[in-house]
Amino acid sequence: MTVFCYHTFDSRTPTDFTLSSARFNEQLRFLYVQKIPVIPLSALEDHLAKGTPLPERSVVITIDDGYKSAKTIAWPILQRYGFPFTLYVYPHAISHLKGSLTWDDLRLMAGAGADIESHTQTHPFLTHPEVAMNQKDYQAWIDYEVSESKHRIEEELKRPVTSLAYPYGGYDEFVAERVKLAGYHTALTCEDGDVDRFTDPWRLNRRLIFHNTSLKTFAYAFLHKPLQLADLSPRDGERTPETPLEITARIVNFPQIQMDTVQILVNKIDRHWHGIAIDPKTGKFSFKVPPHARHGHYFASLIAQDKTNPAIKREASWSFIVRRNVSK
């Protein structure tokens, strides 16, 4: 199961997340021609909660932030192929910020079948409040961001909101628990990789689509298989006040990979993949973190070639946060 994450389309002020309408159409046409099932988010939620069967290699399409181009550019292309999709919006922007959708836009889209879900109230980095807070105030702030957005969207559109996308992909164990308690059935990250029946519903991976995501790169996602990781240090979603000296983990299914092809990429360290040695008896590895590493939100990605079919890549990813003077 693959969840794709888009943002904006054909912008006059493009960013790394701006995709051209031509590339978007090309990617959707690939799904259509290859007969890859595109399913609504609700089907994935039923699968996770009840074990409801899904078509093999299903795809969910999501669009974050609520830019106008989701309606004017992406929506007509999605309608052309008859694909369902989920739009994650934050109410602070709707009918307020330049370039954003209006509540009338969302009512129109929802009435025609679009799924509208929550991206929090104001789109903050939930693990990094802009002002120092004690634990009580921090919890109240998180609860406002995740609950008020749910309430406002439900009030405006007269339909339930069951899913939240973490702004900037930022979350940790505490944030995920508050989202769960707010009544959401699922929450989506920005960590690369697929999901399956046993994935934590409040930590669902998504594959980010960038402005330079070619059709070859897009199609390659369907050749990937998971690497199963355990004993992560730092843990997935963990917040630590100091930069770790090393990143360690254990590859559970290491007999299924070519051991000499394992590579790691850590976004805050550099943009290059690094080969790492795997213990042939346990599957354990360690990656030393250079002393100049910065504080912030880290995404660690791991890839390796499949042992029986080298054309297939196995992969996994997780995130952790490094920040001094944590106020909560």
Phi, psi of 253 (to 5 degrees): -100, 40
Walk me through the domains of the chain, giving residue ranges and CATH numbers.
Answer: 2-223 (3.20.20.370), 225-322 (2.60.40.1220)
Q: Report residue 134's pLDDT band, with 50, 70 and 90 as the boundaries.
A: very high
Helix, strand, coil content of the chain in percent (nearest 5): 30, 25, 45
Q: Report residue 237's pLDDT band, with 50, 70 and 90 as the boundaries.
A: confident
Average pLDDT (41-67) is 95
- Tell me the CA distances in angstroms from 300 to 33, 287, 317, one per residue in order: 33, 11, 5
What percentage of the chain exceeds 90 in pLDDT? 69
Return the structure tokens found at 224: 């990937």
The answer to whether 251 touches 271, Cβ cutoff 8 Å, is: no
Average pLDDT (249-276) is 91
Phi, psi of 27 (to 5 degrees): -70, -45
Size of the chain in residues: 328
Locate tokens 């939100």: which residue? 297
In whole angstroms, what is the distance from residue 296 CA to residue 16 CA?
Answer: 19
Phi, psi of 316 (to 5 degrees): -160, 160
* pLDDT reported for residue 324: 61
In whole angstroms, what is the distance from residue 133 CA to residue 139 CA?
Answer: 9
At 135-158, the pLDDT tens digits run: 999 999 999 999 999 999 999 999
At 106-118, the pLDDT tens digits run: 999 999 999 999 9
pLDDT greater than 90 at residue 35: yes
At 176-197, the pLDDT tens digits run: 999 999 999 999 998 888 888 8
* pLDDT reported for residue 314: 87
Q: What is the pTM of this model?
A: 0.77
